[in-house]
Structure 1
Amino acid sequence: MVVKLYTMDLSPPVRAAMMACDIFSVAYERVEVNLLEQEQMKPEFLKKNPLHSLPVLEDDDLILHDSHAIMMYLADAYGMDESWYPKNNKKRALVNQKLFFDTAILFPRLRNVTYSIVNEGKKNITQKMLDSIDEAYGFMEAFLSRSTYIAGEDVTIADLSVVSDISSLAYILPIDAQKFPKTLDWLRGLESQPCCERYNNPGAAELGQLLKRFQESNSSAQIE
């Protein structure tokens, strides 16, 4: 059975999953789900993911939602280079820790902005939201002051997950090179990688443009 991945480029978690598929050479059938048109609320999609979020991966009889779970699975099932998701317990724990950081800190701060502008029709991003993003950059700077990549000296799936959010947040609040030099260098380094150039950078730019358009129009569609 062909692996299927339900996607929309605007979504940072989708972009992370697509980069993982690229890294692990997983061929897949791409199924587009337009969040702005509420296609994620269709009954046939809700049967696959009651949370109505993207991405969703189908591999034979396995259906997975949540990009972090998908990336872990792809690494274990298809990955040939274990440095991306180490089998060593301590190294893997550090990768998991940063994946949870992405889940608990980075993505919610991004979604607070997208939800406010796109779902609620707000025109302005509050100072509180900007401060929370700035704080997140500070966390990143602290992590990257200890290691070359987010979870150690090797690039891992945690970097793929985190860069999808950081590259999107940077369109909302540009990263200050004076305050966060290591974070900016890390971002630029990852954005220059082929998987990021193909599957992340265009979608991040598209999301930034979408937020700008919605701020200007004060519209009220939905994005996740």
Structure 2
Amino acid sequence: MEKIKFYSNLLSPPGRTVQLTACAIGLDLEFHSVDVLNNEHLSEEFIKMNPQHTIPVINDNGRVFYDSHAIAIYLISKYAPKNSLYPQDLIKQAKINAILHFESGVLFARLRFLIDKVREATDMSQVPQDRIDYVLNALSLLEALLVDKYLAGNEMTIADISCSTNIKLLGKT
């Protein structure tokens, strides 16, 4: 079997979600670095794979997928369908999916909103307080979801992996 080609950047939280998911299910990916700072994701070749020109992207024997959540679910469903990271139970999946939507639509979006200003600043005092508060609110919302051992129950799922890669981003700022 040919290795799945994985296009991402080591600093990308969505990319790390795919890497950690693949590792957790024992899947070895063929990593291809995409230098977003030098606009490699805007090349004609990359846009043919992903018209949204976002990372990560995988190519599994000619089948191309993008969006970290879609990729993680695909990898588990195809290569480890009985794995508890994304259980087959529809109720558990719905809970995981809700957290994944929260992660992309709230947590990741707010972190990007803050990180952009942090990168521009020469001093943290230049970062607008409203952006910091916006992220702190997202973290409070995330904490409210943690009513069990993990975000979606008593076993780790891709919701935990995905959210944790974003929180790790805070350690880089």
Cross-structure match for 1:111: 112
Quote the residue 1:42 is aligned against: 43
- Structure 1: stretches of 5+ with no match in the other structure: 172-207, 212-224
Consecutive unaligned residues in structure 2, runs of 5 or more: none
Instruction: Give the CA deviation at 1:117.
Output: 4.5
Q: TM-score, normalised to structure 2's length? A: 0.91
1:129 to 131, 150, 153: 131
Q: For the residues of structure 2 that align with 1:22 and 1:81, how far apart are their CA atoms? A: 16
Q: By how many angstroms is 1:61 displaced?
A: 2.1
Partner SS state of residue 83, structure 1: coil
Please tell me the residue identity of whatever aligns with 1:128. D
Corresponding position of 2:144: 142
Q: Quote the residue 2:87 is aligned against.
A: 86
Cα deviation for residue 115 of structure 1 reads 3.1
2:167 is aligned to: 166
CA contact (8 A) 1:24 1:80 kept: no
Residues 39, 117 of structure 1: CA spacing in aligned structure 2 closer, same or farther, 3 A cutoff? farther
Deviations 1:174-202 (A, max 9, x none): xxxxxxxxxxxxxxxxxxxxxxxxxxxxx
Q: Distance in 2 between matches of 1:23 and 1:15?
A: 12
1:82 Cα deviation from its structure 2 partner? 2.4
1:135 maps to a residue whose letter is N
Whole-angstrom distance in 2 between the partners of 1:150 and 1:168: 18
> RMSD of the alignment, in Å?
1.4
- Give SS of 2:84's match: helix
Residue 28 of structure 1: CA displacement?
Answer: 1.6
How many matched pairs? Answer: 169
Hey, what's the Cα distance between the residues in 2 that align with 1:129 and 1:34? 27
Q: Relative contact order: is structure 1 or structure 2 higher (C-alpha 8 Å, sep ≥ 6)?
A: 1
Give the C-alpha shift of residue 80 in structure 1: 5.3
- In the other structure, the counterpart of 2:58 is 57
